[in-house]
Amino acid sequence: MLNVYNILETIRMIQDECLDIRTITMGISLLDCIDTDIDKACEKVYNKIVKCAKNLVPVGQQIEKEYGIPIINKRISVTPIAMLAAACPGENPVKFAKALQRAADTCGVNFIGGYSALVHKGFSAGDEALIRSIPEALAVTENICSSVNIGSTKSGINMDAVKLMGQIVKETAEKTADRDCIGAAKLVVFCNAVEDNPFMAGAFHGVGEPDCEIHVGVSGPGVVRAALSKYPDASINELADIIKKTAFKITRMGQLVGARASELLGVPFGIVDLSLAPTPAIGDSVAHILEEMGLEMCGTHGTTACLAMLNDAVKKGGVMASSTVGGLSGAFIPVSEDAGMIDAAVAGVLSLEKLEAMTAVCSVGLDMIVVPGDIAPETISAIIADEAAIGMVNTKTTAVRLIPAIGKKEGETLEFGGLLGSGPVMPIRDKSAAKFINRGGRIPAPMHSLKN
Amino acid sequence: MRAVITVIGKDNVGILHKVSGICAEMGANVIEVTQSVLQDMFAMIMLVDITGLSGDFSEMVDKMTALGNDLGLSIHTMHEDIFNSMHNI
């Protein structure tokens, strides 16, 4: 039954603690749009997306009104475009990116993800052409996101792809240097990419998914921090319990919104991504949760332990609240999108190495990290390889989204605005890994026994 | 189907009248009202039946929000499902 305390608690969470649904993402399969004529394929892609998603934004707005909960983004994820590009050898895959952009404009969505290739074991037809076209595709479009999966626990790490992605990340930043290198903020390199992720930049619609479905990504770091702040003297296991209860409530909201969207759109409900996704807004920071637990500043010693507990408790609380959980599920730590992380990085307390350790215990990986513009492509590749190794060995998704700040050095800042925030240029090691990266080949898949 | 209307802000003459006026106009039947005035802060929670609504629910939300803006009050109109799903297993 309804009671006054619960009603006011919900309203307070939304109004004062930045609780929101981060995204409703419609996954759309484009496998039926494959055509050897790229122009025909692009037309089919546009038509299919518009047919499936024309009501996505109005339905999102209707649900916002119905439940009084903000839904920040409405997004679309599509089949990795490399699979469509494979049928059109010799053509420039950027045509697909432009078709996706047209569809995004028509539907009014914030992002379309899926300008992607899965090359964890090797390149098939279309993959390399698509990867090489990413810098141009992200420079000539506004709302398209790209991702490349270069490794997995079962297949190891494709080091040829790692090498190539170092160059592509750098080139993508260069091509958008006049817009604070925004292109690189829309490109993510994965190990163990998931097929039902509603979050950008890494969303794509996996081939095992149905023709069309709805995913929901929740948010709410501010709510968790506010809940913890009421218990300054609680022990860690008591804190874990509070986080679980809060995550349950947040996730129930996601489940409700997802089920309603699925009903209104007549599309099956996919998953709720149990995420704590920060925004640069004050009071919406994952770093501030860790500081609430007792760290003077995020990034100091103890950060990894706090984050491990937070991440696990979020999942435990969220799993029971939703009928189907999936996606990336966990706490995100994108540096430029989190006010507390930005402060810690500016203060020099949060380093790339600490972030790397943190990614071993939480969702995703080195995310939205600004690095000096003169970084060597091989160094980017080496950072990708390190991060992919963590994912491969620990059977988890890891990702790298680095933004080389072209023309800028340590101490300067890139400003992306909106959800992407702003990030200080963080220092990197000055010794080269070029010889290692240039060897090419594959890191074999790891052992699944003798775990230590 | 029911909705919860919450009104919080500085007390004034005729708040309940104006809110219930919109309910009547929209065909929302008031089921329960709880109200308190602490010093000069007004807080009201109203449960209404929206099954026989004459227009869209979103139209009612807009009218309530506009009223809140006029009166300098915070008025939230939300479907009861959000509270039920969040606080009940």
What digits encode the pLDDT tens for the residues A100-147? 999 999 999 999 999 999 999 999 989 999 999 999 999 999 999 999
Cβ-nearest to A67 among B6, B79, B89? B79
Could you read off the pLDDT of A35-70 as tens digits, one per residue? 999 999 999 999 999 999 999 999 999 999 999 999
Tell if the CB–CB gap between B83 and A253 is shorter than 8 Å: no
Report how far residue A206's alpha carbon sits from residue A97's, in angstroms, rounded to the nearest whole number: 18
| pLDDT of amino acid B37 | 84
| Three-point CA angle A23, A371, A153, nearest 5° | 60
Predicted complex: ipTM over 0.90: no
Q: Are A392 and A370 in contact (CB under 8 A)?
A: no
Chain A interface, mutation test: which of B87, B88, B89, most A Cβ atoms within 10 Å? B87
Could you read off the pLDDT of A340-366 as tens digits, one per residue? 999 999 999 999 999 999 999 998 899
- Tokens 């990419």 correspond to A193
Size of interface A-B (CB pairs under 8 A): 58
| pLDDT of amino acid A18 | 84
The structure tokens listed for A261 are 């969207």
Tell me, yes or no, if B38 comes closer than 8 A to chain A by beta carbon.
no
Report how far residue A135's alpha carbon sits from residue A157's, in angstroms, rounded to the nearest whole number: 22
As a whole number, the mean pLDDT across chain A is 94
Beta strand pairing status for A156-158 and A144-152?
antiparallel
In sequence order, which residues have a C-beta less than 8 Å from that of residue A117 and are 6 or more positions away?
A80, A81, A82, A123, A126, A127, A130, A131, A148, A149
Cβ-nearest to B86 among A15, A62, A249? A249
Report how far residue A92's alpha carbon sits from residue A81's, in angstroms, rounded to the nearest whole number: 12
Task: Output Rg (C-alpha) for chain A, integer angstroms.
Answer: 21
Residue A391 sits at φ, ψ, to 5 deg, of -65, -45
| pLDDT of amino acid A385 | 98
Tell if the CB–CB gap between B78 and A68 is shorter than 8 Å: yes
Q: What is the total residue count of chain A?
A: 452
- Tokens 């990867």 correspond to A131
Q: Picking from A10-24, A224-238, A332-346, which range would have the lowest pLDDT averaged per residue? A: A10-24
- Tokens 């925030």 correspond to A421
DSSP of B1-69, one letter per residue? -EEEEEEEEE--TTHHHHHHHHHHHHTPEEEEEEEEEETTEEEEEEEEE-TT-SS-HHHHHHHHHHHHH
Residue A209 CB burial class (10 angstroms; 0-12, 13-18, ≥19) = buried
Chain B interface, mutation test: which of A6, A9, A11, most B Cβ atoms within 10 Å? A11
The Cα of A249 is separated from the nearest Cα of chain B by a number of Å equal to 5
The Cα of B49 is separated from the nearest Cα of chain A by a number of Å equal to 14
| Nearest residue on chain A to B57, alpha-carbon basis | A66
Interface of B with A in 49-88 (CB under 8 A): 57-58, 61-62, 74, 76-87
Tell me, yes or no, if B6 comes closer than 8 A to chain A by beta carbon.
yes
Cβ-nearest to B86 among A8, A62, A252? A252
Could you read off the pLDDT of A164-184 as tens digits, one per residue? 999 999 999 999 999 999 999
Could you read off the pLDDT of A312-321 as tens digits, one per residue? 999 999 999 9
| pLDDT of amino acid A329 | 87
pLDDT of residue A452 exceeding 80, the answer is no
DSSP H helical ranges for A301-450: 303-321, 339-346, 352-359, 377-394, 434-438
Helix or strand run (H / E) with residue B45 = strand B41-49
Tell if the CB–CB gap between A2 and B80 is shorter than 8 Å: yes
Tell if the CB–CB gap between B82 and A4 is shorter than 8 Å: no
Q: What is the total residue count of chain B?
A: 89
Tell if the CB–CB gap between A7 and B77 is shorter than 8 Å: no
pTM, entire model: 0.92
Chain A partners within 8 Å of B84 (Cβ): 2
Tell me the average pLDDT across A397-410.
Answer: 95
Report how far residue A28's alpha carbon sits from residue A268's, in angstroms, rounded to the nearest whole number: 11
Q: Are A405 and A373 in contact (CB under 8 A)?
A: yes
Residue A33 sits at φ, ψ, to 5 deg, of -105, 0
Angstrom CA distances, A90 to A7, A86, A93, stand at 59, 9, 9
May I ask the CATH architecture of the domain B2-86?
A: 2-Layer Sandwich (3.30)
Tell if the CB–CB gap between A253 and B82 is shorter than 8 Å: yes
The Cα of B76 is separated from the nearest Cα of chain A by a number of Å equal to 7
Report how far residue A329's alpha carbon sits from residue A326's, in angstroms, rounded to the nearest whole number: 6
The structure tokens listed for A169 are 């990340």
The structure tokens listed for A358 are 């943190």
User: A interface toward B at CB cutoff 8 Å?
Assistant: 2, 4, 6-11, 15, 62, 65-69, 249, 252-253, 255-256, 320
Tell me, yes or no, if B4 comes closer than 8 A to chain A by beta carbon.
yes
Tell me the average pLDDT across A248-263.
Answer: 94
Report how far residue A398's alpha carbon sits from residue A360's, in angstroms, rounded to the nearest whole number: 8
